[in-house]
Chain A
């Protein structure tokens, strides 16, 4: 019940906002922020109450909804979704705070943000296919409006492209869901759309798994986005307002990786193993391609957008490593990317607000003019590269550790991606922050305001916290990862895989590694 309340609180807030007169802009902003912050603080209670020793769903609620079709309102959280859930509430609050400067239609903007929040939270808690699909599609609309109404020059094009890409992908998933629904009835004898029940009892042969895997994969791969389905992302990111970009990078992309973890792996284990080389291949291509394209960008926001393609490739690689390190790294990197890239978009947004341009060539020598900004930017740049001591390092390290064990080749190529990341990020940083001040406009820049600092500081804290002591984060998903691995590993193959009994001690070792190299 508490979980349901938390999920719908933003939507209720959005409806409440509708009754505040349009001209009371301050009241609107403050109310929206208060709702989002309250939602975030309350969601921390979930972390406190979370039992880290079990992989079972917690905070569950299951009430019949459309009984004629066996559909129920079934929600809950496990280790995979808990931190994503909390990150969503946090980023919503930050994004709302970051958009206080919006000039037109502030009321509608805040309403859209809050509605979006409910849609995203709903995706992470749904344990019923039908419910999941509803939330999955529902969050498209507010995001579409945020890009299309408050975006940049080519906003309409970007918004429609964003919507259609996601819709096409998810509609095929819908067909797969209905198919599973009937198949489950044929084989088990119950009409149900309960994800937990179906995951447990479904019985599919190889061919069926392959088709269904593809239908689900397409939906999630577009969302992630994986190469070659990524073309909507740079457009959407560049045109979206700052808050939109933050949410897009921080949460919406995570829905794709979350989908892999919740559906593709446990439902279609055979097909997952079968398609592994292809998925990993696409992920690696994404890593290298994203990095190379990012290197050539002249627009700051586009650069960060393409770096997302590259980073998300790592996460997918970690997921398909099918071992503890890989999955742990992937889940952690899910958060890291939300934090780091979200912060980078915030920072780029701040500088855009001041100069109304994002072209790298327009800047140079900012370090002397706006030192605080530069320090924040540097921390996030280094975190994005994965410097030891920052969150990015722990995540990428674990992922590479995981993939090295199973697929050396992919790991070697992916490591190249990290080097490229250092190239494009540092080069960009140098051109923007150092060198001489060529453009006199830049001398007039003002440093960060307290409000802007408020949006960045929580993220900076998280960067170092995860970088030095990731345990409070990783411990939430260890049990779920173990459970997931047993689901993916076919029972008759279990002998040939390396035993996972000692995984927990391995994890500790890895964390110790991460910590010690961070302190150098």
Chain B
């Protein structure tokens, strides 16, 4: 007899609230007229309520649905990060979409649907649920990447992402199937128990399942050698979507990655920490060295995001509670840095000319000092320069890893930080040290500007006074 799992809708509240609002956006799109700003309002309200409702349960951790869904410290904090990143994504899209003439109705609902998937991903403790989350997120992203239908690059990005993504999903599913086949359960806790008590039917198959999971997640977080799609997709997708992809879905994939490996396979840590260490190191090096030669700002940021995946993997390898907190804190900070930087990329472009080459930034430093200063702050923060938030985030991850004794890994990561300064500085070189190519025609659109201002403030604030947020991130 199969016992009916207890249903706990309250802990599912964020998912439910957001789904309702997503439907509402889809519906309203049909009824309101040409002016779609009402949709933005509904979306943002939905995200706000979602964030609030994630505190519906506070006696963490709350496990429900037969142990396949959990509300805990990690999931709540991640839900916050997702809501923030989706809200920022919507905000920087408004004026961009108007400029690039992108149809908005389904655009907003896709971002919201994607967010639903992300919340599920970060809160699931069951392989099936995790797979469900990944599919929701991926399908939305495939569409979002190709939403500029008329643009060849956008379509190429979508197709590439879809083909490779489908392939990776296959690997993931295969890995999950192997784990299920050997341990007889899809619950993370159950798998851990089966492994530790030696009740699995075949050790090699478990290991193979694990490797396939690394492959699948590696693709989702764009770790080397599964990163090939990133630069092309990031370059081709509309800029706000690129920013969104670099942050939200990646954070969600990392949350699931962290959970699966620390909760289901802590016993196998000795075998996966080696694999992940190697992947982390290669990822950092490929990302950073690749970024050095880029001349397109979006590609540069794409490679830089690859290298950041490498740093984040270190947090998983540390696999202590410090690692989990470091992961969420890093993603929170990363959200603001990335949206800020992409916000500026959007502002520098104008209709018909996106100005994405580094040369287009020549002389920006003295023509529009505040914009260039903000860009410098984001880039230096991405590089990890104190006293900016990016430094605190990196510091946190290095702490987590050093606490577990991964000295060499941290030393390599630190060297990579130094390499990364080279290309972040290159943008600054263009902005401050080269002569301008011509007059800048920058229209400071207010909402995008708002996103940038918020991002600057948070990046500086979390760098100087990270205390309160840090204590929130720590369980």
Instruction: Among A155, A163, A167, point to the contact of B433 (Cβ < 8 A).
Output: A155
Question: Contact at A149–B398, with CB atoms within 8 Å?
Answer: no
Question: Contact at B414–A156, with CB atoms within 8 Å?
Answer: no
**Does any Cβ of B come within 8 Å of A437's Cβ?**
no
Contacting residues, chain B, for A66 (C-beta < 8 A): 465-467, 470
Question: Contact at A149–B432, with CB atoms within 8 Å?
Answer: yes
Question: Contact at B366–A108, with CB atoms within 8 Å?
Answer: yes
Interface flags, A422-454, vs B, CB<8A=1, else 0? 000000000000000000000000000000000
| Shortest CB distance A103–B (Å) | 13
Contacting residues, chain B, for A148 (C-beta < 8 A): 429, 432-433
Question: Contact at A175–B402, with CB atoms within 8 Å?
Answer: yes
Instruction: Among B402, B410, B421, B432, point to the contact of A167 (Cβ < 8 A).
Output: B421
| Shortest CB distance A72–B (Å) | 11
| Shortest CB distance B146–A (Å) | 38
| Shortest CB distance B103–A (Å) | 42
**Does any Cβ of A come within 8 Å of B444's Cβ?**
no
Segment of B181-189, B278-286, B380-388 in the binding face? B380-388
Instruction: Among A105, A108, A156, A168, point to the contact of B429 (Cβ < 8 A).
Output: A156
Interface flags, B380-411, vs A, CB<8A=1, else 0? 10000111000100010011001100010011
Known: A108-B369, A164-B421, A171-B418. A159 touches B433 (CB 8 A): yes
Q: Identify which of residues 177-195 in chain A touch chain B, using a CB-to-CB cut-off of 8 Å.
A: 178-179, 181-182
**Does any Cβ of B come within 8 Å of A351's Cβ?**
no
Question: Contact at B433–A149, with CB atoms within 8 Å?
Answer: yes
Distance between Cα atoms of A179 and B414 in the complex (Å): 13
Known: A105-B366, A108-B366, A179-B402. A134 touches B414 (CB 8 A): no
Interface flags, A251-290, vs B, CB<8A=1, else 0? 0000000000000000000000000000000000000000
Instruction: Among A141, A155, A175, point to the contact of B410 (Cβ < 8 A).
Output: A175
A104 closest partner in B (C-beta): B366
| Shortest CB distance B468–A (Å) | 9
Question: Contact at B470–A69, with CB atoms within 8 Å?
Answer: yes
B394 closest partner in A (C-beta): A174
**Does any Cβ of B come within 8 Å of A217's Cβ?**
no
Contacting residues, chain A, for B432 (C-beta < 8 A): 145, 148-149
**Does any Cβ of A come within 8 Å of B471's Cβ?**
yes
Known: A141-B380, A172-B414. A65 touches B386 (CB 8 A): no
A215 closest partner in B (C-beta): B411
Contacting residues, chain B, for A137 (C-beta < 8 A): 385-386, 391
Contacting residues, chain B, for A179 (C-beta < 8 A): 402, 407
Which of A159, A167, A181 has the most chain B CB within a 10 Å cutoff?
A167
Question: Contact at A68–B403, with CB atoms within 8 Å?
Answer: no
| Shortest CB distance A64–B (Å) | 8
Interface flags, A125-137, vs B, CB<8A=1, else 0? 0000000011001
Distance between Cα atoms of A167 and B407 in the complex (Å): 19
**Does any Cβ of A come within 8 Å of B65's Cβ?**
no
Question: Contact at B402–A182, with CB atoms within 8 Å?
Answer: yes
Question: Contact at A67–B467, with CB atoms within 8 Å?
Answer: yes
Distance between Cα atoms of A108 and B398 in the complex (Å): 35
Contacting residues, chain B, for A105 (C-beta < 8 A): 366
Question: Contact at A160–B422, with CB atoms within 8 Å?
Answer: yes
**Does any Cβ of B come within 8 Å of A40's Cβ?**
no
Contacting residues, chain A, for B391 (C-beta < 8 A): 134, 137
Distance between Cα atoms of A105 and B433 in the complex (Å): 11
Counting chain B residues whose Cβ lies within 8 A of the other chain, the interface size class is: 20 to 34
**Does any Cβ of A come within 8 Å of B9's Cβ?**
no
Interface flags, B425-439, vs A, CB<8A=1, else 0? 100010011000000
Distance between Cα atoms of A141 and B425 in the complex (Å): 10
Known: A105-B366, A171-B417. A68 touches B386 (CB 8 A): no
Distance between Cα atoms of A226 and B470 in the complex (Å): 39
Which of B414, B422, B470 has the most chain A CB within a 10 Å cutoff?
B414
Number of A-B contacts (CB under 8 A): 82
Q: Identify which of residues 61-114 in chain A touch chain B, using a CB-to-CB cut-off of 8 Å.
A: 65-69, 105, 108
**Does any Cβ of B come within 8 Å of A138's Cβ?**
yes
**Does any Cβ of A come within 8 Å of B27's Cβ?**
no
Contacting residues, chain A, for B421 (C-beta < 8 A): 163-164, 167
Distance between Cα atoms of A69 and B365 in the complex (Å): 36
**Does any Cβ of B come within 8 Å of A393's Cβ?**
no
**Does any Cβ of B come within 8 Å of A124's Cβ?**
no
Contacting residues, chain A, for B369 (C-beta < 8 A): 108
Question: Contact at B433–A156, with CB atoms within 8 Å?
Answer: yes
Distance between Cα atoms of A160 and B466 in the complex (Å): 29
Distance between Cα atoms of A141 and B465 in the complex (Å): 20
Known: A105-B366, A149-B432. A68 touches B470 (CB 8 A): yes
Question: Contact at A164–B402, with CB atoms within 8 Å?
Answer: no
Contacting residues, chain B, for A163 (C-beta < 8 A): 421, 425
| Shortest CB distance A217–B (Å) | 15
| Shortest CB distance B460–A (Å) | 12
Distance between Cα atoms of A105 and B372 in the complex (Å): 15
**Does any Cβ of A come within 8 Å of B208's Cβ?**
no
B383 closest partner in A (C-beta): A167
Instruction: Among A69, A138, A159, A175, point to the contact of B407 (Cβ < 8 A).
Output: A175
Interface flags, B462-475, vs A, CB<8A=1, else 0? 00011100110010
**Does any Cβ of A come within 8 Å of B274's Cβ?**
no
**Does any Cβ of A come within 8 Å of B62's Cβ?**
no
A69 closest partner in B (C-beta): B470
B376 closest partner in A (C-beta): A141
Q: Identify which of residues 208-231 in chain B touch chain A, using a CB-to-CB cut-off of 8 Å.
A: none
Known: A67-B467, A108-B369. A171 touches B415 (CB 8 A): yes
Question: Contact at A68–B474, with CB atoms within 8 Å?
Answer: yes
Instruction: Among B385, B407, B425, B471, point to the contact of A68 (Cβ < 8 A).
Output: B471
**Does any Cβ of B come within 8 Å of A144's Cβ?**
yes
Which of B410, B422, B425 has the most chain A CB within a 10 Å cutoff?
B425
Contacting residues, chain A, for B385 (C-beta < 8 A): 137-138, 140-141
Distance between Cα atoms of A105 and B363 in the complex (Å): 12
Which of A66, A156, A160, A171 has the most chain B CB within a 10 Å cutoff?
A171
Instruction: Among A138, A175, A178, point to the contact of B386 (Cβ < 8 A).
Output: A138
Can you give 19 A-B contacts (C-beta < 8 A)? A65-B467, A66-B465, A66-B467, A67-B471, A68-B474, A108-B366, A137-B385, A138-B387, A148-B433, A149-B433, A156-B433, A163-B421, A164-B421, A168-B418, A172-B411, A174-B395, A175-B402, A178-B395, A181-B399
Beyond the given A68-B470, A159-B433, A175-B407, please list 6 additional residue pairs across the A-B interface where CB-CB is below 8 A: A66-B467, A68-B467, A148-B433, A163-B425, A178-B398, A181-B399
* In the complex, the 10 A-B pairs of residues with the closest C-beta atoms, listed nearest first: A134-B386, A171-B414, A68-B470, A168-B418, A134-B387, A66-B467, A148-B433, A68-B471, A137-B386, A167-B418
